[in-house]
Amino acid sequence: MTSRHPSTIPKWAVAAAENAAMRDLADCAFIGVEPETKTPRLPTRITPSEGGQMLSAQSTAEIIFLNQRLIQFAGMEVAYGVRQEFSDLRRLSGELRHLTKVRIEPFQEGSLVIPCVLESEPVEILVGSRHKRFTGHDLLDRFSEVLEGIGTDGEQFDTSLGMLQAVRDLNQVLRRDAESIEFVPISRVEHRPITVNRSYVSNVEGVIRYRIEPTEFRQEIAGYVTAVDLTKQTFNLRLADRNTISGTYTDFVRQSAIQILGRNVTCVGEVQYVGGNPQFVRAFRFDVVEAIEE
């Protein structure tokens, strides 16, 4: 079957496919036929700084290590869905570690392309009460989705904190001796190449700050008061989404605080957000908007 669109696989990735394991892919790319790729691959090209021809051993090792981490975080999201706070890979099961293992094929002489290979055979993983089957193709599809998503949608894209941190850590190589790092996921479907450079990493750093650093706004926030401590001048407020945040109040509203337990109120004050979600409020005023919750 001939492809309706030109292949987006760059020439260097095709060149990296000229070893025996990838010759069929290289032939397909040259003649415009859709490849039937059996082995998921992630060739990764490093462009050295200032037109250099070499890369330090430290940078090479770091890129391989970070490729492994990125694939492991992608595997977590494929198997269990996105958990924004997840960043600890020590919690991976044995089956998931097997699925996400990245292997490196022999380097071509004179090449700065790292030929990464993923697991092609299905691996069963217990998800909830059921076993589900995944392959390296699933990981590459998610890998591509994430790196494209955080590049275009930034803080609005849903992925784990660990994935963001692993992308940020590529900056170690970019600062030391590389202008860019280019990934070409080769899977069951064709993915566009993804280039990570200093500008890309800077945007990711902004997303991480948005996720973990609190920001404050003076505004109103409404909810149901579930607890009040008159001694410590603290209270808990259950929001419309059923999440509960804590808060404090000033001496000026101490008298009002006596009456708010078990009521729907609107608080006016400094509301602290982390990752776009309210976490804490310092209340300057309480307005009871309804009697006891039904």
Q: For 228-241, what is each residue's pLDDT tens digit?
A: 999 999 999 999 99
What does the pLDDT read at residue 108? 79
Residue 206 dihedral angles phi and psi, to the nearest 5°: -65, -40
In b/e form, how buried is each residue of 138-148, taking b as 16+ CB within 10 angstroms?
bbbbbbbbbbe
Structural domains in the chain plus CATH codes = 11-212 (no CATH), 215-292 (2.40.50.140)
Orientation angle between helical segments 136-152 and 198-212, nearest 10 degrees: 90
**Which three-class secondary structure state does DSSP give residue 57?**
helix
Euclidean distance between CA atoms 120 and 285, whole angstroms: 60
Q: How many residues comprise the chain?
A: 294
Q: For 13-36, what is each residue's pLDDT tens digit?
A: 655 555 534 544 454 444 343 444
Q: What is the pTM of this model?
A: 0.73
Closest C-alpha to 78, from 93, 96, 60, 62: 96
What does the pLDDT read at residue 86? 93
